Amino acid sequence: MKPRIAIFSLTSCEGCSLAILELEDCLLDILGAVEIVNFREGMTERSWDIDIGFVDGAVSTPEDMKEIEHFRECSKVLVAIGACATHGGLNTLKNYQDESDYRKYVYGDQAARFPTIPAQPLSGVVDVDYQLPGCPMVKEEFLEFVKVVLTGRTWHLPEDPVCVECKRNGTLCLYEKGIMCLGPVTRAGCNAICPSYGAKCEGCRGVVHDEALKAAGINLREQYDVDLQDVLADLRMFGAYQEKTLP
């Protein structure tokens, strides 16, 4: 029997679930192998008997809280897709600001009608079986994930940093241009797409491992003349790292 798939969105731009529709070349192959039973961006029918539930977006409102618990209950396997779902994403920027300030500039005089809570990844609320990080989620990685699931294997995220992909691609290291790129501390799997266009890695796939972060703390202090606060701000952008100081 084909696995029954659902795709849900919490607080986010829903770009990650849209990315699935953008898999035009392979979409028909996927549809041949799975049955999509619940997908607001792509269909009107709804079913709650779900083998694999994909969720993009962060838990950022009381409503999100209720929904993610429901999704979890209905999905045998729950997969967080995109930086918001895996790390909290851009939504977590508000966690560093005064609540009344951001509520006022986001919702204006209607703020009272929109309750919010500090943003957090799905894993802060429910058990998550698999994570497909990135802003947006990497389409190719999603495809690989689907194949792995269909062949009864266990999905593993790459455990190497982005630098590995820059080197395999022959991309010029941004440090050679004096740019503090987050590639050395960020999980690979995006094919180092930002550096390949000359833009620094901003860590949207999260910190690859603590050892790298520890090395970053030492190197930025001892080898580079940079403001650690700037680097921290970069690390916080997609929720990759929430602590106050670098280890």
Partner 1 sequence: MLDRVVSQSQLLALVDELALSRRIVGPVRRSDRHFYGPVDRADKLDLDFKYCVYSPKAALFPADQTLFEFQTGPDGFQTSPVYDESPLALVGVHPCDINAIRLLDRVFSNTNIDEHYLSRRRQTFIVGIDCPTPCTSGVFCRDMKANEAREGADIMCSPLPPNGVSDDVRYGVVFGTDAGREFVLYSHAGDPPTVDDERASERYISDKARAFPQSIPYDVDALPELLERSYDSLLWEATARRCYSCGSCNLSCPTCYCFNTYDRLEMTLTSGTRQREWDGCQLRSFAVVAGDHNFRAKAAARLRHRIYRKAKWVKEREGVAGCVGCARCDRACTAKISSVEIYNQLAEEV
Partner 2 sequence: MAVLGRQPTDKAKSLYEPEPAEVVSVEKLTDLENVYALQLASGHPLGHLPGQFVQLALLGIGECPISICSSPTRPNTFELCVRRVGEVTEHIHRLREGDTIGVRGPLGNGFDVHELHGKDILIVAGGLGLAPVRSLIQYILDERARFGQFHLLYGARSPGELLFRNDLTLWRERDDVNFHMTVDRPDEQWRGRSGVVTTLFSEVPRLEPGETQVVIVGPPVMFKFVVLEVLARRIHQRNIFCSLERRMKCGVGKCGHCQANNVYVCLEGPVFRYGELKALREAIE
Site string for partner 1, 147-176 (x = CB under 8 A): x--xx-------xxx-xx-xxxxx-xx-xx
Burial (Cβ within 10 Å: 0-12, 13-18, ≥19) of residue 5: buried
Sheet holding 4-9, edge to edge: 35-39, 4-9, 50-56, 75-81, 130-132
Nearer to partner 1, 99 or 211 (CB): 211
What H or E segment, with its residue span, contains residue 137?
none
Site string for partner 2, 145-174 (x = CB under 8 A): ------xxxx--------------------
Q: Which of residues 2-61 bind partner 1 (CB under 8 A)?
A: 26, 29-30, 33
Q: Rounded to the nearest whole angstrom, what is the least distance from the CB of residue 209 to partner 1 in the complex?
A: 7
Q: Which residues pair with 42 in a beta bridge?
A: none
What end-to-end distance do the CA atoms of the chain give, in Å?
48
Give the one residue of 77, 193, 212, 228 binding partner 1; rule: CB under 8 A.
212
The CA distance from 101 to 111, in Å, is 10
33 binding partner 2? (CB under 8 A) = no
Dihedral, CA atoms, 142, 25, 5, 88, nearest 10 degrees?
A: 40
Q: Rounded to the nearest whole angstrom, what is the least distance from the CB of residue 208 to partner 1 in the complex?
A: 9
Q: Is the dihedral of CA 87, 88, 90, 94 positive or negative?
A: negative
Residues lying near partner 2 in the complex (CB under 8 A): 151-154
Residues lying near partner 1 in the complex (CB under 8 A): 26, 29-30, 33, 143, 147, 150-151, 159-161, 163-164, 166-170, 172-173, 175-176, 183-185, 198, 209, 211-212, 215-216, 218-219, 222-223
